[in-house]
Amino acid sequence: MSAEPKSAPRRVLQVYYAATIVFLMLDYGAGLNVRIAGLQGLPQLKAGYYVVIFACFGLMLWRPAWSTAIGVIESLATMVTLIFSVALRSLFPAEQVLETGSGLLGVPELVNFVIVGSIAWYGWHRGLAQLFGHGRQARTTGRPRIRPDS
């Protein structure tokens, strides 16, 4: 099990987390919630999420060898947040939603779900492959080959 990420993926993760400051300014400055549209109606959770992301970035700078594990955990948390934010609004609409139509999932939320969800899923999958050796190479190396003629 190798937790030490290669330098290029580590830099990509660090740039991704460092870009959170841009997402934060877009969100609070311009009203464009690109990073966490699912928490739009929950300002305390949204602020907490930004704090956690900055903490992830700080940990990556402090302990670069932890980058992959941090990315895996954060990707899982992002996927769970997205799933719950979309599922709860879709499956259990509030009475206000049924009466006024406000609060239904719109195009911005669905686009955010697809983009952020895809990135989180990719980060989760790639991180697990780096941590535990899952993936194409791991499936083909180290296994004895069984020949049908033997």
**Does the structure show a pLDDT above 80 at 136?**
no
pLDDT digits (tens, 9 = 90+) for 69-125: 888 998 898 888 888 877 776 676 666 666 665 666 777 777 778 888 888 888 888
In a domain, 46, yes or no: yes
In a domain, 76, yes or no: yes
In a domain, 110, yes or no: yes
In whole angstroms, what is the distance from residue 17 CA to residue 146 CA?
A: 45
- CB 33 within 8 Å of CB 45: no
Structure-block tokens of residue 111: 């686009």
**Taking residues 127-133, what's their average pLDDT?**
85
**Taking residues 120-139, what's their average pLDDT?**
75
The boundaries of the domain holding residue 117 are 7-140
In a domain, 148, yes or no: no
Taking each helix axis as running N to C, give the angle between helix 20-30 and helix 43-62, from 0 to 180 degrees, rounded to the nearest 10: 160
**Taking residues 54-61, what's their average pLDDT?**
90
Average pLDDT, the chain: 76
Q: What is the 3-state secondary structure (H, E, C) of 13-63?
A: HHHHHHCHHHHHHHHHHHCCCCCCHHHCCCHHHHHHHHHHHHHHHHHHHHC
Percent of the chain with pLDDT over 70: 70
**Prediction pTM value:** 0.66
In a domain, 145, yes or no: no
Count of Cβ atoms closer than 10 Å to residue 29 Cβ: 8
State the total domains in the chain. Answer: 1
